[in-house]
């Protein structure tokens, strides 16, 4: 059958090269989520039940049962199978028979080149879509400390924060929240920085916060007075540069603002748009690069090796060609001590 696999751009070496190039580009990007994602290390593992192995070690999953009822015996095979399904990432695009006819009967060479270019863009989009899904899971586990999955008859919830020190889980209330412009936010950051150093013997690599939370710092009277001086206390806010200068003067880790805290994507099973919370708007996160890890597991498609694999193959029944990307992976909190969460305002209270 004359599909697409005989074209140079859709051979295995060419597709492998495209994935490698896009992975390299991803690691070079400095966009908001990419910068957070870069804190999460990656590791290749070869267990076929790697996701289940993580859960088994964490020992944090239990069933909901009625009062007086016996808890069920966990079916290890079923859990491993379902976790394997949940941890498998993949997408595909179909080149229809009509598209193949146009591709093999072009009016001229330029038209055929344009059609191949269009398919190449589709291939790149598949890889990017998978990278984005993995990126979201990395940022979620780093900044929320949890993995929640409820789709396609698979429901899993893992809370890694149970292993964090209690002193690393701060919730401000009442007048002590950052919603109070008079509150000593500098004192909070210094105290949390010291707590982090007491636990780990080092400072955090970075302090993460949302744009909404940063906006509250820009209007905080303690910050304004530090930046402008007591004689200029009538100012309503400071600039971002002034804020960073004030905090830097206290030897605090650098602040990285996460501008994209929610991601809208189409649910592949329902076809409906869904909003995924990536970063809590009300949270300040002290983090270091060795706190979380994304485990890449082996897939059949990748010759039983870990990593992202991109495929192109032809079918005869029905007549079509398939573009397909896949990977297996799972994010974990590897060192809970290297994270400190401070919820500085009520969950819906971040206003600039």
Examine residue 155 and state whether it is found in any structural domain, yes or no. Answer: yes
Examine residue 131 and state whether it is found in any structural domain, yes or no. Answer: yes
CATH number at residue 51: 3.15.30
Examine residue 242 and state whether it is found in any structural domain, yes or no. Answer: no
pLDDT of residue 281: 92
> Mean pLDDT for the chain?
83
Examine residue 197 and state whether it is found in any structural domain, yes or no. Answer: no
pLDDT of residue 65: 47
State mean pLDDT over 222-244. Answer: 83
Q: Which of 39-53, 177-191, 215-229 has the highest mean pLDDT?
A: 177-191
Q: Closest by alpha carbon to 214, among 175, 242, 190, 235?
A: 242
Examine residue 250 and state whether it is found in any structural domain, yes or no. Answer: no
Examine residue 243 and state whether it is found in any structural domain, yes or no. Answer: no
Domain count, the chain: 1
Examine residue 229 and state whether it is found in any structural domain, yes or no. Answer: no
Strand boundaries in 22-163, DSSP class E: 41-44, 88-95, 146-151, 154-159
- pLDDT, tens digit (0-9, with 9 covering 90-100), for 298-327: 988 898 899 999 999 898 888 889 989 989
Q: What is the pTM of this model?
A: 0.81
Query: What domain range includes position 15?
Result: 8-62+74-160+289-331
pLDDT surpasses 90 at 189: yes
pLDDT of residue 187: 97
pLDDT of residue 352: 43
- pLDDT, tens digit (0-9, with 9 covering 90-100), for 245-282: 999 999 999 999 998 888 777 666 666 777 788 899 99
pLDDT surpasses 80 at 87: no
Examine residue 212 and state whether it is found in any structural domain, yes or no. Answer: no
State mean pLDDT over 72-95. Answer: 68
Q: Both tokens of residue 85?
A: 């399904």
Task: Find the angle CA(10)-CA(15)-CA(17) to the nearest 5 degrees.
Answer: 135
């Amino acid at each position: 059958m004359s599909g697409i696999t005989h074209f140079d751009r859709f051979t295995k070496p060419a597709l492998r090269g495209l994935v490698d190039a896009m992975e390299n580009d991803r690691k070079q990007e400095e966009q908001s989520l990419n910068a957070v994602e870069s804190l999460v290390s990656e590791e290749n593992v070869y267990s076929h039940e790697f996701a289940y192995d993580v859960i088994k070690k964490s020992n944090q999953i239990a069933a909901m049962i009625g009062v007086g009822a016996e808890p069920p015996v966990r079916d290890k095979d079923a859990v491993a199978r379902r976790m394997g399904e949940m941890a498998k990432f993949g997408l595909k695009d179909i080149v229809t028979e009509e598209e193949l006819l146009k591709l093999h009967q072009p009016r001229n060479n330029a038209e055929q080149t344009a059609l191949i270019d269009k398919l190449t863009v589709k291939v790149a989009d598949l890889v990017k879509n998978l990278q984005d899904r993995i990126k979201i899971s990395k940022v979620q586990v780093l900044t929320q400390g949890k993995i929640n999955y409820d789709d396609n008859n698979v429901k899993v919830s893992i809370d890694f924060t149970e292993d964090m020190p209690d002193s690393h889980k701060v919730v401000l209330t009442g007048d002590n929240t950052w919603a109070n412009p008079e509150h000593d936010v500098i004192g909070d950051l210094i105290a949390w920085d010291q707590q982090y150093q007491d636990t780990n013997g080092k400072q955090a690599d970075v302090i993460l916060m949302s744009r909404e939370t940063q906006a509250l710092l820009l209007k905080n009277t303690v910050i304004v007075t530090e930046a402008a001086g007591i004689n200029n206390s009538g100012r309503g806010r400071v600039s971002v540069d002034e804020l960073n200068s004030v905090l830097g003067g206290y030897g605090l880790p650098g602040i990285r603002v996460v501008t994209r805290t929610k991601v809208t994507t189409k649910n592949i099973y329902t076809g409906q748009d869904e909003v995924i919370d990536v970063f809590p708007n009300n949270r300040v996160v002290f983090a270091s690069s060795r706190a979380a890890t994304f485990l890449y597991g082996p897939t059949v498609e990748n010759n039983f090796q870990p990593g992202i694999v991109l495929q192109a193959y032809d079918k005869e029944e029905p007549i079509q060609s398939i573009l397909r990307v896949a990977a297996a992976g799972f994010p974990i909190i590897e060192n809970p001590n290297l994270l400190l969460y401070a919820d500085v305002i009520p969950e819906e209270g971040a206003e600039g």
